[in-house]
A and B are shown apart, each in its own frame.
Chain A
């Protein structure tokens, strides 16, 4: 146990996963409460065409370029979903599946085009989407900390407005709130968390980190503030335990364990919540 804390690399991995899970739980909490539970999955897949097009244009996969291009592409996907549901009768779930598969197809098309090109550094492009928690470096943690701090500060600052916007958009509009600006800033924070996270834990597990904590929290509370706090705590617990597991068992990936533990916590809460709440009411 002690050796764990002396291993510098593992401390970085732990800090990184903890920060990521807190911001994912809080930002994802809002997304889930706004009926967009699988948005993380969509946005993470939608990063692919951006990365590929940037590679075709600049022939580079520098981290900054990958980040910016992925961000733009996911942001476009976010707005395309809103646009489709606004201008047509297509529902939100179909719009998400459409955007996911369309963006991923464009990405795969670009990837197959890149593979016909004669470029030295094209290898490993398709691996960018699968993530590697064990490979977190000090620089990644610095990035992650900034993203986590920015997203958490943003949520804390505009908490009341976001809450109003999520649960009663019409009332928010009559109050004269600039809905578009808040929508854009929320989209930016969400996309930023997803894009940074997917390079570390991968596409699928990113989706899980966004949606499972808040789903568990709903067993325990009805108030938004408490919900988000419980989600963050659960998320930190699972990140801590899974980092410990991946330290004790060699070659064990951290990301999937986070999801497995979150799933177990879901099962436990499901069983325990009615019982605990029943006791309280008696």
Chain B
């Protein structure tokens, strides 16, 4: 059961990340996951200082709010101050992170937060933190959390698939048709925050960033439509989870880091395959000519 819970939780998270990540890279917002992974520290510190709570649900809510704030604020600065979007993202998340560190330093005597735990979540502990209700053990909390996040993602992306597609590839046409590109952009940003924050606790921020962008980018190499890209991204993400578990068992290394490395290996192999295909194609054309 122990390995099973780790596998099923990782695979749920990987599916969520692959779906949201595909939409993210199409909008050239890939660094958002990394930005949110740093700025959530402020949310956690604020919840702790304002409400004195260390309960995981409180901390998660604080983190999601700051995640949303990061996404919204950087978009707002980008549009209103005419700053390039990557620069405005960098400005916002480093500022929020710096504010969190200063707050920790000011209230150093009262803060006993484990920053490492948030950023380097360890999957090996997932099965030990179970949800107890009505005197029944319902299995790991992380499993239920990632399942709910996946359902939210599936529901929103499923319902608004056409809108996401149009506003990703052709924002101007979308606006002409009366679809608010800005509104769907903010919806996507919200999905990213919820997914990222819910996953940090289980798998750590590095794997979230890796799972958001790497399988989606691999899928981007092969897919020729948005639905295929989403499908391939989920498949590549599942493969990374499996290979990562194998690597971790073989080398006795951290599970989430191994999954990130596995995802990277798949991408690099795909890049090589693509290169060879292109070279073959070029030589075939050359020989015909």
Contacts and interface: CB of A to CB of B under 8 A. Distances in A.
B229 to A, nearest CB: 12
Contact of B210 (A101, A212, A218): A101
B221 A259 contact: no
A149 interface: no
A211 B91 CA distance: 7
Contacts of A32: 84, 87
Given A84-B271, A88-B271, A256 B98 contact: yes
A208 B81 contact: no
A268 interface: no
A252 B103 CA distance: 10
Contacts of A107: 257
Contact of B99 (A89, A90, A94, A256): A256
A205 interface: yes
A260 B98 contact: yes
A104 interface: yes
Interface residues of A, number: 52
A105 B261 contact: yes
Interface size on B, as a range, is: 35 or more
Interface stretch (A33-41, A163-171, A224-232): A33-41
A262 B94 CA distance: 10
B264 A260 contact: no
A105 B210 contact: yes
Given A38-B89, A108-B257, A270-B81, 10 more contacts: A98-B214, A100-B34, A101-B214, A102-B260, A104-B209, A109-B247, A111-B254, A204-B93, A215-B83, A253-B101
Interface of A: 32, 35-38, 41, 84, 87-91, 93-94, 96-98, 100-102, 104-109, 111-113, 116, 204-205, 207-208, 211-212, 215, 218-219, 251-253, 255-260, 262-263, 266, 270
21 contacts: A32-B84, A32-B87, A38-B31, A89-B220, A90-B25, A93-B28, A94-B220, A98-B217, A98-B264, A102-B261, A104-B206, A104-B260, A109-B247, A112-B257, A113-B252, A204-B93, A208-B90, A208-B98, A212-B91, A256-B101, A258-B98
